[in-house]
Amino acid sequence: MVLVRFPPLTPEDSLSLYRTLTAEQMEKVKHVIDFIGVRDIVSKEIGAMSGGEGRKCLIGRALVCDPQAMLLDEPTTGLDLRAQGDFLELMEQLSSEKTMILVTHHIEEIIPSIKTVAVLSNGHIQQVGKKEDMLTSESISKIFQANISVIRDGEYYRIGKNRTFT
C-alpha cells in the first residue's frame, strides 16, 4: 500500500499550485466559493476537510474553468446522508447551467433535472430513454433479470423493499 500525503493546502492555494491566477480568474474563484457555499472553509486545509467539504471544493475547482459539461462518477460515495443531500442540491443547481452526466448505482440520486437515463449492466448500455420510461419496475426488472420494485416519489425514484434476484 502506498500512502500519499498532500502538502498542507487550502482550496484557494491548490488553484494556484501550478500557475498564477489572473485578477479575472480570482474574481471567478470568489464567485464560485460563494455559489457552492464554502466561504466558511476556504482557509481550512484540504486534508482536514470532511468528504462533503472536499467534494464541494473539487466541484468548485472544476467550475472555475467554466466547463460546458460535468461528468460525475458516483459523486456521493462515502458521504454521510446530510452531505449527500447537500451535494445533490448543488448538482440540481448546476444542471440549469451545465450538462450533467451522472454515474450512480442508486436511482434515488437521479436528480429531477436529469431527463435522459442510460441503464448499464455487465459493462454495457442496455437501454437509453426518457427517465420516466426507463425507471419502471418492468424495465429495471427486465434489464437486471430480477423482480425489482421501482417507486416514483414525486420527482425522485427509489427501489422498493420487494426484490428478488434469480
d(CA 125, CA 121): 7
Helical ranges in 17-146 per DSSP H: 23-36, 51-64, 81-94, 131-134, 137-144
pLDDT at 122: 85
C-alpha cell at 12: 484557494
Beta bridge partners of 146: 165
Cβ(85)–Cβ(76) below 8 Å: no
Read off the pLDDT of residues 24-82 as tens digits, 9 standing for 90 and up: 888 888 898 888 888 898 888 888 888 888 888 888 888 888 899 999 999 999 888 99
Cβ(75)–Cβ(91) below 8 Å: yes
Residue identified by cell 448500455 is 125
d(CA 136, CA 114): 16
Q: How many helices (H) and strands (E) does the chain have?
A: 6, 6
pLDDT at 92: 93
C-alpha cell at 93: 443547481
